[in-house]
Structure 1
Amino acid sequence: MARLVSDLQHKWDRIYSQREAADPKPAAMLSQYSHLLPKQGRALDLACGVGGNTFFLAQRGLTVDAWDISPVAISQIDQRKGPADNIRTSVVNINDGVFAKNYYDIVTVSYFLDRQHIDDIITTLKPQGLLFYQTFTREKAQPGGPSNPDFLLKKGELLSLFSQLTPIIYHEEGLIGDASKGLRNEAILIAQKPAMLKPPLN
């Protein structure tokens, strides 16, 4: 397992080192639905990359924990954030049991899928907390994204993975209509943790 984590870290370090240092942009789930965010609270940007979601949340008054496996990505956030005191960065291996219970008002995940940590994400949300999740689907209108199906969502899968949460927004256009337009190859889920969790679907 340690070797796998090391290989994964090196892979993403290399990717982030080679990318141009443009200002990071938030995922569509945040830019399109920012009106659903609270005016204050604690947020987790999981697998944060270079911090597009992190900076977007911090600019709206939230205190953000930015986690990524890549020290290079975290270093780039640290360089950009300057003296901002509402962004806390950490190089994190999520397999180390790092999720606090009922801790975050907001959790964001974009372009990352590890199904074994779905329960951790649900657990770390506070009751009434919001999940913003966006990642790639197996149904592709155009080439792009991962090719490994382990990192791609089946149709409607986000809804079933987070069936314990109450869906607020679900967006998956698939191949319907003019596939050259709209948000294709991806699914978006915004969902709220209820005060009392319902049992997961079998």
Structure 2
Amino acid sequence: MPEPDAVPGADASRWDARHAVAGPVVPMPPDAVRGREHLLPAGGRALDVACGRGGVAAWLAGRGFAVDAVDVSPVGLAAGAALAPGVTWIAHDLTTGLPVAGPYDLVVCQRYREPSLYPALAAALAPGGLLVITVLSEVGDSGGQFRAAPGELVAAFADLVPLAIAEGGGEATLVARRRE
């Protein structure tokens, strides 16, 4: 069962309510690597940031990764823990930073944008480690406070080697590797 760590009431409650009425969790690869699974490391340590109900964390664990999964919602984490008990499930408010340290061979962050975390995500990567990040974007959308500006991910992770970049349809994605 996940251990709580600085989980704020309002945000956790909002996500708890959303996860409580969702359907079954399905293990799945990160969206940005579907069809590009060959880019993933063969195994090692993985971090799933803002993991929600843990579909990606469970999929990674099924591929042999030792996974740490972090989210603000204890209800979401409990759903993930029921699916993949071998994952380390961590309840944590990510606006206060990462609760874990690397190095990780793979860091995944899907649809959670907290620019203050970008340096910590890059720092958590092992040499040769892979970052897979998708955020909401202003590109192809009407904008808003939770959306990345054009080129935000590429600029934020300029020290990494980009393998795949996409912006459009209201999303921005970057798959990049830390230099050896």
Please report the TM-score for the alignment, with normalisation by the length of structure 1: 0.78
* 1:153-168 equivalent positions in 2, closer than 5 A: 153-168=148-163
C-alpha displacement of 1:96? 5.5
Q: Identify which of 38, 47, 53 aligns with 1:35.
A: 38
SS at match of 1:19: coil
Partner of 2:179: 194
* 1:12-161 equivalent positions in 2, closer than 5 A: 12-82=15-85, 85=86, 87-94=87-94, 95=96, 98-100=99-101, 102-140=102-140, 149-161=144-156
> In 1, are the aligned partners of 2:105 and 2:129 still within 8 Å (CA)?
yes
Give CA-to-partner distance per residue, 1:129-176, whole Å, 9 cap, x none.
1100112111236xxxxx87231111121101111211111122x3xx
Give CA-to-partner distance per residue, 1:97-138, whole Å, 9 cap, x none.
5231x4111000001000111111111111211100112111
**Aligned-partner residue type, residue 152 of structure 1:** R
SS at match of 1:119: helix
Specify which structure has the bigger relative contact order, considering alpha-carbon pairs within 8 angstroms and separated by 6 or more residues: 2
Q: Which is greater in Rg? A: 1
Alignment gaps of 5+ in structure 2: 1-5
How far apart, in 2, do the equivalents of 1:38 and 1:153 lie?
A: 27
- Same amino acid, percent of matched pairs: 30
**Aligned-partner residue type, residue 91 of structure 1:** A
Which has more strand, going by share of residues? 2
> In 2, are the aligned partners of 1:170 and 1:190 still within 8 Å (CA)?
yes
Alignment gaps of 5+ in structure 1: 142-146, 175-183, 196-202
**Number of equivalences:** 174
How far apart, in 1, do the equivalents of 2:160 and 2:38 lie?
A: 19
> In 1, are the aligned partners of 2:27 and 2:59 still within 8 Å (CA)?
no
How far apart, in 2, do the equivalents of 1:169 and 1:103 lie?
A: 22
How far apart, in 2, do the equivalents of 1:148 and 1:137 lie?
A: 7
Give CA-to-partner distance per residue, 1:56-85, whole Å, 9 cap, x none.
211221111111110000000111125xx3
Please report the TM-score for the alignment, with normalisation by the length of structure 2: 0.87
Residue 4 to residue 91, structure 1, CA distance change in 2 (3 Å): closer
C-alpha displacement of 1:24? 4.8
SS at match of 2:145: helix
C-alpha displacement of 1:90? 1.2
